[in-house]
Amino acid sequence: MENKIINLGIFGFGVVGQGLYEVLNRTKGINARIKKICIKDPNKSRPIDSSYFTTDKNEILEDPAIDVVVELINDTEAAFDIVSTALRNGKAVVSASKRMIAENLPALYELQSANKVPFLYEASSCASIPIIRNLEEYYDNDLLNAVEGICNGSTNYILTKIFEENLSFETALQQAQELGFAETDPTLDIEGYDPKFKLVILLLHAFGTFVKPEEVYNFGIHHLNDFDIQFAKQRNCTVKLIAQCRRQNGSVFAYVLPHLVKEHNLLYDVYNEYNGILLESAFTDKQFFVGKGAGGTATGSAVLSDISALLYNYRYEYKKIKQNNQPNFTNDVKLKVYLRYKTPDQVDLAEFFNISEKYESPEWRYVVGTINLQKLKDAGWLKKKDVNLLVLE
Ligand SMILES: NC(=O)c1ccc[n+]([C@@H]2O[C@H](COP(=O)([O-])OP(=O)(O)OC[C@H]3O[C@@H](n4cnc5c(N)ncnc54)[C@H](OP(=O)(O)O)[C@@H]3O)[C@@H](O)[C@H]2O)c1
């Protein structure tokens, strides 16, 4: 595609679609122009000329003049249909839809290989942080040990407001939604599904291992209460929702769980809608990436970077898959946790290997102890509103 102007067909003109429009207009020297934008609701008022818009997906998917399909919609099924049709029609595709990508990674990998077209999705994982291309190009060997970080701008915004400004959970969530950081369905953010989708994508690019989202345990910040906040503050800690995948004994484990984070930890100072990713490798120890993890122009700039990369024929090579020594996925790992509950019948302490601390009061009880990740994943008791969990460092 070098030296030519590429025609874009965009799906979606919400937070990210409009962010891309703004970024594209303000970026000089990018050889790309918008030919058509497909949206869902023809009656919504739009901030730009109506001639751009259509509700007919085929005006983009079947237009031979459109080189690149940019998929930025909030409907997982429709997004997969659009992306797979575009790839089959030989069009390069850029997408930000982490859930759609995480749930369909093997099929999307096959589709781009079979049709020999690039499919880029940097904005899907940690929005503005260029992490996928780094994992692909810089960490293209097997010396990477772990990818760990804050991958959800909305929950990090909420936790920042709770810990730094003493705001209530509800007020902080409302602010995150008003600022466009929260997903359309906020449970995806606060229960840790959104960072899990990103983690599944990062895990593939870090280690070459395909994992289904349902294999990875996620527990969010939806049960966090004042007692937990005091517990963290008394230990000079904050709480961060951490997504991590890590090699261990030839396998790789992964989870999204709220962690107690101490001041010396680089992730402690990642505030508001910012995301932070710590990479650990055999010889370089830790490397740290930080950047905005949500918002229109921050995400739009990552989408634009993918469009720009297509101009020099960039595509993911999935080198770790081709190296053919991927670690197996496991949930067999011990974690030290704080478990808070109201009455003893709400939890099963027999699942713990050991308990090092126990607290009881008329209002709340907690234990600190070690438990297997698979046990946590299987434990029905963590679904109870009175029960909360924090991983200790
Ligand atoms: N917001 C962020 O900060 C962020 C960051 C990274 C990734 N993402 C991902 O980017 C994607 C878009 O997010 P968003 O926040 O921009 O969503 P959004 O503000 O809710 O906008 C969604 C857009 O998709 C359009 N749409 C829905 N179904 C469609 C269909 N079947 N065909 C055509 N258009 C359709 C909607 O059309 P109408 O305008 O007609 O309703 C709307 O313009 C999501 O997958 C999200 O997970 C978002």
SS (H, E, C) the chain: CCCCCEEEEEECCCHHHHHHHHHHHHCCCCCEEEEEEECCCCCCCCCCCHHHEECCCHHHHCCCCCCEEEECCCCHHHHHHHHHHHHHCCCEEEECCHHHHHHCHHHHHHHHHHHCCCEECHHHCCCCCCHHHHHHHCCCCCCEEEEEEECCHHHHHHHHHHHHHCCCHHHHHHHHHHCCCCCCCHHHHHCCHHHHHHHHHHHHHHHCCCCCHHHCEECCCCCCCHHHHHHHHHCCEEEEEEEEEEEECCEEEEEEEEEEEECCCHHHHCCCCEEEEEEEECCCEEEEEEEECCCHHHHHHHHHHHHHHHHCCCCCCCHHHHHCCCCEEECCCEEEEEEEECCHHHCCHHHCCEEEEEEECCCCEEEEEEEEHHHHHHCHHHHCCCCEEEECC
- Shared-domain flag, residues 370 and 301: no
Given the CA of residue 17, which atom of ligand 1 is nearest to it?
A: 16
Last residue of a domain, one of 262, 288, 316: 316
Instruction: Give the CA angle between residues 58, 60, 64 to the nearest 5°.
Output: 100
> Per-residue pLDDT tens for 225-260?
999 999 999 999 999 999 999 999 999 999 999 999
Ligand 1 centroid to Cα of residue 335, in Å, is 36
CATH code, 346: 3.30.70
- Shared-domain flag, residues 28 and 90: yes
- Shared-domain flag, residues 107 and 31: yes
Nearest CA to ligand 1 atom 47: 97
Ligand 1 centroid to Cα of residue 326, in Å, is 33
> Number of structural domains, the chain?
2
CA 49, distance to chain mean position in Å, is: 33
The verdict on the CB of residue 195 being under 6 Å from ligand 1 is: no
pLDDT, residue 300, reads: 96
Residue 304 lies in a domain: yes
Nearest CA to ligand 1 atom 25: 12
Residue-wise over 172-195: b if at least 16 C-beta within 10 A, else e? bbebbbebbbbbeebebbbbbbbb
Residue 216 lies in a domain: no
Residue 185 lies in a domain: no
pLDDT, residue 183, reads: 67
Active site residues: 198
Nearest CA to ligand 1 atom 18: 14
**From 10, 15, 84, mutation site for ligand 1 pocket: most ligand atoms within 8 A of C-beta:** 15
The verdict on the CB of residue 285 being under 6 Å from ligand 1 is: no
CATH code, 43: 3.40.50.720
**From 22, 39, 181, mutation site for ligand 1 pocket: most ligand atoms within 8 A of C-beta:** 39
Residues of the chain with pLDDT under 50: none
Q: Which residues on neighbouring strands pair with residue 360, listed in sequence order? A: 365
> Per-residue pLDDT tens for 268-303?
999 999 999 999 998 888 999 999 988 899 999 999
Distances (CA, A) of 310 to 31, 78, 83: 11, 24, 16
Residue 113 lies in a domain: yes
Distances (CA, A) of 156 to 270, 278, 369, 370: 8, 16, 26, 26
Ligand 1 centroid to Cα of residue 263, in Å, is 36
Ligand 1 centroid to Cα of residue 245, in Å, is 28
Biggest distance spanned by C-alpha atoms of the chain:
71
**Residue 342: domain span:** 331-393
The verdict on the CB of residue 68 being under 6 Å from ligand 1 is: no
- Shared-domain flag, residues 307 and 355: no
The verdict on the CB of residue 75 being under 6 Å from ligand 1 is: yes
Residue 250 lies in a domain: no
pLDDT, residue 95, reads: 98
